Amino acid sequence: METQRLNPYLLPHKGLRNLLAKVSFLAGNLDYTSVHEVEQLKLFARELFYLLEQHAQVEESVVLPELEQKAPGSTQENHEEHEFLEAIITKLDKQTEQLSVESTPTDFLDFFLDISDFHSKYLAHMLMEEREVLKAIWANFTDEELIAQHHRILSSFTPEKILRWFRFIVPALNPQERKIVLGGMKANAPKVFFSELLEVIKAEMPEFAFANLVKSLEEKELSNS
Ligand SMILES: [Fe+2]
């Protein structure tokens, strides 16, 4: 069987793609006269900006400095892209806060187009990291180093932060990836936290996919016991 190396971008980028698409979709189809729908859009947009900021922080404080140490000069372009994207996020954040049912249809259309523009730029950025930076990471790090880095990042997260990330990551994974990621968490995390995690994920997944996930976790547990 093909063995895959650890890809530090896989989980966060799938989660971010999920939430980017969701915000983009909501920005296009909301009823801008509905207080509830405008509030929903703002909640998901804020969550997107929070996760984007958290993600940039992990890349800027762990992934890129460690790569730079091994391959000097290899991360310059990535830093510049982060700064460029961060400036757009700050602008979008302000624009989001100004939206209300008092805003004009043009304000909402502008927001929809600006989110869409950012969406396309962020997809291109993630692809650059997945196609180019990942090659440099894999060329310079051993499997053991990658696993240790992954654990260092995850163990620095509070339970609240894990819930906020996994809410969007897990629905965006394929069933095989979900089983591995959640199987590991089920075996190691406190029971109360794991139940909370499943509740959060359930709200973001189609019913049948969630039922299949629960079934696959039960089967995994049986095969381990
Ligand atoms: Fe990045």
Measure 122 CA to ligand 1 centroid, in angstroms: 9
Measure 82 CA to ligand 1 centroid, in angstroms: 6
Measure 133 CA to ligand 1 centroid, in angstroms: 10
Residues that place a CB less than 5 A from ion ligand 1: 59
Place of tokens 């624009």: 95
Domain boundaries 8-156, CATH class: mainly alpha
In the chain, where the domains are located? 8-156, 159-225
pLDDT, tens only, 15-56: 999 999 999 999 999 999 999 999 999 999 999 999 999 999
Residue 218 has pLDDT above 90, yes or no: no
Residue 206 has pLDDT above 70, yes or no: yes
Measure 129 CA to ligand 1 centroid, in angstroms: 7
The residue length of the chain stands at: 225
Average pLDDT for 185-212: 94
Measure 55 CA to ligand 1 centroid, in angstroms: 7
Measure 56 CA to ligand 1 centroid, in angstroms: 6
pLDDT, tens only, 128-138: 999 999 999 99
Measure 126 CA to ligand 1 centroid, in angstroms: 6
pLDDT, tens only, 126-167: 999 999 999 999 999 999 999 999 999 989 999 999 999 999
Measure 103 CA to ligand 1 centroid, in angstroms: 32
pLDDT interval class at 4 (50, 70, 90): confident
Q: For residues 66-77, b (16+ Cβ closer than 10 Å) or e, as one string?
A: bbeeeeeebbee
Average pLDDT for 188-208: 94
Closest residue by Cα to residue 107 from 180, 48, 167, 33: 33
Residue 224 has pLDDT above 70, yes or no: no
Angle between helices 159-172 and 191-202 in degrees, nearest 10:
40
